[in-house]
């Protein structure tokens, strides 16, 4: 039986995007974002690599996320990978598991998840949530992503707007829990000399996760731009040397 972490995680989104890099090569980026009314969600729920993004929630089984992206890296279709993991999990009825790979999407919500719970599978993205004020939370996350997917902004910033849209619709219904957290992770097939810090960022314990995450992302953007300006030549030389 797979190991379980008894933490009820609230809502998240996983996405896949195709894009063209500066050299004209086709690349793929994957992202996952999550927030909840508990501390430290970034250590439990979001998993991403250059082969896919997975979120494990409701009563969290961390191994579903860890092994999920490993299976995607091995070339498994996302549905085959996540179905196989759920089949081996005795706690399947309490799980929410969803994600995207290079060739598809998958979402599962067990019938013992806590109301309101549900999921949405869109074109190249998935959303799922539990312990929500209602279905509108998941719908608003999906709508925000669809509306912003063609914008020329970093994926991490658009994913934060998706979390904000869910929060605006009520988000996690457990208002008595004032400590909250959020996390965003992005990975690309593109080999970048420097990875922006906002592509792996989280707030672990706060009463205002969305504003705090927004401030962190803006500061991380500023830091990234300053580092490129000051050390760009050194980065390029290091990349060319293969060191």
Task: For residue range 6-50, list pLDDT tens digits in order.
Answer: 667 799 999 999 999 989 999 999 999 999 999 999 999 999 999
pLDDT interval class at 241 (50, 70, 90) = very low
Check if the beta carbon of residue 170 is closer than 8 Å to that of residue 140.
no
Q: Position of tokens 């190991």?
A: 3
Q: Which residues of 60-74 are buried (b: 16+ CB within 10 A; e: fewer)?
A: bbbbbbbbbbbbbee
Asked, for residue 223, whether it belongs to a domain, the answer is: yes
Asked, for residue 228, whether it belongs to a domain, the answer is: yes
Task: For residue range 58-98, list pLDDT tens digits in order.
Answer: 999 999 999 999 999 999 999 999 999 999 999 999 999 99
Element (H, E) at 85: helix 78-87
- CATH of residue 70's domain is 3.60.20.10
Asked, for residue 45, whether it belongs to a domain, the answer is: yes
Check if the beta carbon of residue 96 is closer than 8 Å to that of residue 113.
yes
Torsion of CA 127, 131, 135, 137, to 10 degrees: -60
Query: Based on the structure, what is the number of domains in the chain?
Result: 1
The two structure tokens encoding residue 35: 């927030």
Task: For residue range 153-176, list pLDDT tens digits in order.
Answer: 999 999 999 999 999 999 999 999
Which range (49-58, 191-200, 209-218) has the least confidence?
A: 191-200
DSSP letter (8 states) at residue 75: T
Check if the beta carbon of residue 149 is closer than 8 Å to that of residue 28.
no
Structural domain of 82: 8-241
Contacts of 29 (CB under 8 A, 6+ apart): 16, 17, 19, 155, 186, 187, 188, 189, 190
Asked, for residue 92, whether it belongs to a domain, the answer is: yes
Beta bridge partners of 60: none
Asked, for residue 93, whether it belongs to a domain, the answer is: yes
* 226 burial level (CB within 10 Å; 0-12, 13-18, 19+): exposed
Asked, for residue 2, whether it belongs to a domain, the answer is: no
Asked, for residue 1, whether it belongs to a domain, the answer is: no
Q: What angle do CA 158, 161, 165 make, to 5 degrees?
A: 145
Asked, for residue 91, whether it belongs to a domain, the answer is: yes
Indicate left, alpha or beta for 33 from its phi (over 0: left) and psi (-120 to 50: alpha): beta
- Which pLDDT belongs to residue 232? 66
């Amino acid at each position: 039986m797979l190991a379980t972490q008894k933490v009820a995680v609230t809502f998240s989104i996983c996405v896949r995007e195709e894009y063209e890099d500066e050299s004209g090569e086709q690349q793929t980026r994957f992202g996952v974002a999550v927030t909840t009314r508990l501390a430290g969600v970034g250590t439990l729920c979001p998993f991403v690599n250059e082969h896919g993004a997975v979120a494990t929630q409701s009563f969290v089984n961390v191994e579903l996320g860890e092994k999920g992206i490993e299976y995607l890296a091995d070339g498994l279709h996302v549905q085959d990978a996540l179905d196989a993991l759920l089949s081996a999990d005795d706690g399947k009825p309490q799980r929410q598991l969803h994600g995207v790979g290079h060739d598809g999407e998958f979402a599962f919500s067990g019938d013992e998840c806590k109301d309101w719970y549900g999921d949405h599978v869109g074109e190249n993205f998935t959303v799922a949530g539990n312990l929500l004020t209602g279905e509108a939370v998941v719908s608003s996350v999906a709508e925000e992503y669809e509306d912003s997917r063609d914008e020329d902004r970093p994926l991490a910033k658009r994913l934060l707007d998706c979390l904000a849209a869910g929060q605006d619709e009520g988000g996690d219904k457990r208002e008595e829990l004032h400590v909250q957290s959020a996390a965003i992770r992005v990975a690309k097939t593109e080999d970048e000399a420097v990875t922006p810090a906002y592509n792996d960022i989280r707030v672990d314990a706060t009463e205002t996760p969305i504003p705090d995450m927004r401030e962190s992302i803006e500061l991380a953007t500023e830091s990234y731009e300053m580092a490129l300006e000051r050390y760009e030549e050194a980065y390029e030389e290091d990349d060319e040397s293969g060191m």
